[in-house]
Amino acid sequence: MDAGDLDDRDDMEGAPEGAGRAVEALLEELGEETQTQPAAHFGGLRGRTVVVSGGATGIGRQVAIEFARCGTNVAFTWVDLPDRSIAEEAAEVEQELQQLEVKVVAERVDVRDPRAVGAFIERVRQQLGGVHFLVNAAGIHRSAPLWKMTDEQWFDVLDVNLTGAFNMIRAVAPLLKSQRYGKVVNIASVHAFVGSFGVANYAASKSGLVGLTRSAAAELGPSNVNVNGVAPGYVRTGMLADVPDNVVADAIEGSALRRLPEPRDIAHVVLFLCSEMARQITGQVIRVDAGMCG
| Number of domains the chain is built from | 1
Q: How far is CA 236 from CA 34, 230, 232, 242, in A?
A: 9, 16, 11, 12
**At residue 262, does pLDDT exceed 90?**
no
Domain region containing 97 = 21-288
In a domain, 4, yes or no: no
Per-residue pLDDT at 37: 52
**∠ CA(77), CA(79), CA(82), 5° rounding?**
165
Please write the tens of the pLDDT for every residue from 149-175: 999 999 999 999 999 999 999 999 999
In a domain, 261, yes or no: yes
Residue 185 counted as domain residue: yes
Amino acid (1-letter code) at residue 241? A
Name the residues annotated as catalytic: 202
Does 228 reside within a domain?
Answer: yes
Cα separation, 84 vs 90, whole angstroms? 13
CA distance 120 to 125: 9
Query: What letter represents residue 207's amino acid?
Result: S
Residue of higher predicted confidence among 140 and 82: 140
List the CATH number of the domain containing 200.
3.40.50.720
pTM: 0.85
